[in-house]
Amino acid sequence: MKRRQFITLLGGAAAWPLAARAQKREKMRRIGVLTALPSDDPEGMARIGAFLQELQELGWTDGRNVRIDYRWGADDTERIRAERIRKYVVELVELAPDVVLVNGASSLRPLQEATRTVPIVFVQITDPVGGGFIDSLARPGGNTTGFALYEYGTSAKWLELLKEIAPGVTRVAVLRDAVTAQGAAQFGVIQSVASSLGGVELRPLNVRDAGEIERGVSAFARGGNGGLIVTTGAYAFVHRKLIITLAARYRLPAVYPYRSSVTAGGLISYGSDSIDAYRRAASYVDRILRGEKPADLPVQAPTKYELVINLKTARALGIEMPATVLARADEVIE
């Protein structure tokens, strides 16, 4: 081979990686992630970690063929949080992502108001049809689909469980999200079964900020025979450590919707597996990135529910956990 030909071929070969890199850059996709949890929240990190791990198994790696833009929440008051979310929504939509992963109704609603074209995959949404987020579970329509948290009927099980482990409880404070409709709906379901459980007196407590929670629980605890039910919602979850501390301080048996509250010192929880929901959400993000439309992807219900008990907390409260409850537990923390 002549030297000139060799140099020509070498020059062409050297250009191939450049061409390949350019081609890869053209294929880089973009995912937005909008979450109400702070960036240093252990549960939030675990959820996003499960999402990223599943994405990678499906062929998507951040920095290689997909770019992920995060917008995290913070421990703010209701007004500041709402302003922050609206700001983040504008920022993410301006980035023109291929799809946005979002958790919670307080984040999903402003995102839907900002765009009807960017595909959205939600998690942690209770009753997405009743909330007006989608047309139906089977055919969500529009640009939104995702994974429902659970049915409202599950809320009744929290009161039933509380009475089973602490039958002497006659007064129950229900900590609810006052911003979204789901807070009122969950309280309504709990209220509907109270009379059949010995006429339990219910008291709704709003959870818009830490001060409101502390004042509400402290005032409630002045009465006797009390217990707590913590419903789902961003505010209750962000302030879960405070709620757990208050429950321990005033010796109030409490039922939570998430396992993470029990591992942090709460008494007992019953609810869907939130980590699994993020893992499953990655599969929908993958399908959308490969060309499918959110309107054609049915909204899915949880497939895993878990009952978790903290026996150390039970002993501190003087509660002897019934054998029937222990037998049903998916996890018992000693």
Could you read off the pLDDT tens digit of each residue along the chain, which spans 334 residues?
A: 444 443 343 344 444 444 444 444 547 999 999 998 888 888 889 999 999 999 999 999 999 999 999 999 876 666 777 888 999 999 999 999 999 999 988 899 999 999 999 999 999 888 898 889 999 999 999 999 999 987 778 889 999 999 999 999 999 999 998 767 777 888 899 999 998 888 899 999 988 888 999 999 999 999 999 999 999 887 788 889 999 999 999 999 999 999 999 999 999 999 999 899 999 999 999 999 999 999 999 999 988 899 999 999 999 999 999 999 999 999 999 9
Contacts of 297 by beta carbon, 8 Å cutoff, 6+ apart: 140, 145, 284, 287, 288
- Domains in the chain: ranges and CATH: 3-148+274-296 (3.40.50.2300), 154-272+305-333 (3.40.50.2300)
What amino acid occupies position 300?
Q
Residues 220-256: b if buried by 16+ CB within 10 A, e if exposed: bbeeeebbbbbbbbbbbbbbbebbbebbbeeebbbbb
Q: CA–CA separation, 284 vs 304, rounded Å?
A: 18
271 and 240 Cβ atoms separated by less than 8 Å: no
Q: Is 12 exposed, middle or buried (0-12, 13-18, 19+ CB in 10 A)?
A: exposed
Q: What is the pLDDT of residue 199?
A: 80
For helices 42-57 and 274-289, what crossing angle results, to 10°? 40
Q: CA–CA separation, 133 vs 145, rounded Å?
A: 9
Q: CA–CA separation, 131 vs 51, rounded Å?
A: 25
CA atoms within 13 A on the CB side of 232: 30
- For 171, the 3-state DSSP assignment is strand
What's this model's pTM, rounded to 2 decimal places? 0.84
Instruction: Please write the tens of the pLDDT for every residue from 241-293.
Output: 999 999 999 999 999 999 999 999 999 999 999 899 999 999 999 999 999 99
Q: How far is residue 276 from each of residues 47, 147, 184, measured CA to CA in Å?
A: 8, 10, 26
Instruction: Please write the tens of the pLDDT for every residue from 40-79.
Output: 888 889 999 999 999 999 999 999 999 999 999 876 666 7
Work out the end-to-end distance of the chain between its first and last CA atoms, rounded to an integer number of angstroms: 76
The contacts found for 289-297 with CB under 8 angstroms, 24 or more apart, are 289/29, 289/31, 289/60, 289/66, 289/98, 289/99, 293/119, 294/119, 294/120, 294/121, 294/140, 294/142, 294/143, 294/144, 294/145, 295/139, 295/140, 295/141, 295/142, 295/143, 295/145, 296/139, 297/140, 297/145
